[in-house]
Amino acid sequence: MACVLYPGSFDPIHNGHVELAEIASELFDEVVVAALVNPSKGDGLFDLEERMFLIGESLKHLSNVRTTKFNGLVVDLATEVGADFIIKGLRAVSDFESELQMAQMNTALSGVQTLFLPSASRSSFLASRLIREVIRLGGDVSQMVPELVQKHLEEKF
């Protein structure tokens, strides 16, 4: 029974994340999607509780996916949930350098391996940072995030 941890900031979850979780749920017996703090990204828009709620609602159609939040090292969470692997999405070559560095650090810390999945081309431009910016400036992100996420984003601004 293979369990995979899909960690991220998810501030907020968007359709590219949903797509990756759907693929992971087909490939693995159990998927844990976790909202974590990215120390390089500051406080963020949604707190971890809100992010976890929006992840859970957006992925409730996937029966083998559960959600959690964690404020600490991702490798400690991987141990806590019994994950065999960490999974990450790659949108473009530009993602690869930092993701590779994190993967190697996580392997050095605990031995856990990271698997990379390419995002589909229709999702490869999606980034939570851009979605926050577009909605803050009055743009339409309805094709880029789940409906509930759009509602919560609109309430924030």
What separation in angstroms does the CA of 11 have from each of 35, 112, 116?
8, 25, 20
Judged by CB under 6 A, which of 15, 67, 106, 114 binds ligand PNS? 106
- Measure the CA–CA gap between 134 and 25, rounded to whole angstroms: 30
- Strands of the 3-8 sheet, one edge to the other: 65-70, 30-36, 3-8, 85-90, 113-118
Active-site residue, selected from the candidate residues 9, 14, 17, 69? 17
Token reading at 152:
């919560």
**Residue 63 bears catalytic tag:** no
Instruction: Write the single-letter amino acid at 128.
Output: S
Site string for ligand PNS, 121-150 (x = CB under 6 A): ------------------------------
Tell me: does residue 3 bind ligand PNS (CB under 6 A). no
The most distant pair of C-alpha atoms in the chain lies apart, rounded to whole Å, by 45
Tell me: does residue 38 bind ligand PNS (CB under 6 A). yes
Tell me whether residue 4 or residue 74 sits nearer to ligand PNS (CB atom): 74
**Residue 17 bears catalytic tag:** yes
Active-site residue, selected from the candidate residues 69, 88, 91, 152? 91
Tell me: does residue 7 bind ligand PNS (CB under 6 A). yes
Q: If you compute the radius of gyration of the chain from its CA atoms, what whole number of angstroms results?
A: 15
The kind and range of the H/E element at 5 are strand 3-8
Tell me: does residue 105 bind ligand PNS (CB under 6 A). yes
**Residue 122 bears catalytic tag:** no
Judged by CB under 6 A, which of 74, 135, 141, 149 binds ligand PNS? 74
The kind and range of the H/E element at 97 are helix 93-110
**Residue 151 bears catalytic tag:** no
Interaction site with ligand PNS (CB under 6 A) = 7-9, 36, 38, 41, 73-74, 102, 105-106
